[in-house]
Amino acid sequence: MRKFTRKVLALAEPRGAVDYLSRVVDLVPELDVDAIVLVGDLAGEERKTESYRQVLEALGNSPVPSFYVPGPQDAPIGEYLREAYNMEIVFPYLHSVHGSFAFAPGHVLVAGMGGYVSDEGDEREEDERLLYPGWEAEYRLKVLHELKDYLKIFLFSRMPAHKGLHENGSDALAELIKTHNPRLVVAYDPAYQGSTFKHEWLAKSLVVVPGSLAEGDFTVVDLHEAEIETGNVR
């Protein structure tokens, strides 16, 4: 295993698809990745606590560190946080970075904000769905101003705004990206992207939509060369 993070396995929207997730995790040595990142709705619609546990256990069995944020439907927040806490005790390679950050191998920082980030002044909600005002995302990640020297990876469960491509994305997330200049942003927003793979540049940051793991899709990103490979485990 390399002692620095060069290649990242990017996943999105498993929605309880533990079988597909386990298949992708089994491919980690073959794909030669140094970390896994996961965004979007983690649990299926039924029996969420059990679904979280199964998804996080499959992710925790990876031989490389894994970083994840919840999707808008991963509510109530208490169930998600409880299972994330419990599973991260058992699997120390697991890292929830919802409104927080953690470190990948080498001088690499992974930060994120899960749920739906709104620019419309909506009040935060964590019972029926996860919804956060844009200012909260900015506030939670303001500590990154003290960590300027790290190569950064951002994880979001909503797309950042990008003029001419998806104006309905979040301006607050776009501003976070322009402020901190992460090398890679992994995002997913089924309202605009469906399960389709997509990538684009936002200033100096590569924004990647991995496609839906619930459909078997995965993406590998080389941070140094900005090269992308896609695959499917169905």
Return d(Cα 169, Cα 131) in angstroms, integer: 14
Domain ranges in the chain are 7-232
List C-alpha distances in Å: 63 to 54, 119, 214.
Answer: 17, 38, 22
The 10 Å Cβ neighbour count of residue 108 is 22
Q: What is the pLDDT of residue 162?
A: 80
Listed residue (181, 186, 171, 149) closest to 68, CA to CA:
186
Q: What is the pLDDT of residue 120?
A: 83
pTM: 0.95
Return d(Cα 85, Cα 80) in angstroms, integer: 9
Chain CA centroid to CA 228, Å: 16
In angstroms, what is the C-alpha Rg of the chain? 16
AA letter at 168 = N
Name the architecture of domain 7-232. 4-Layer Sandwich (3.60)
Contact 42, 50 (CB under 8 A): no
Q: What is the pLDDT of residue 198?
A: 87
Taking only the tens place, the pLDDT of each residue in 186-215 is 998 766 555 578 888 998 999 999 989 999
Listed residue (177, 219, 203) closest to 39, CA to CA:
219
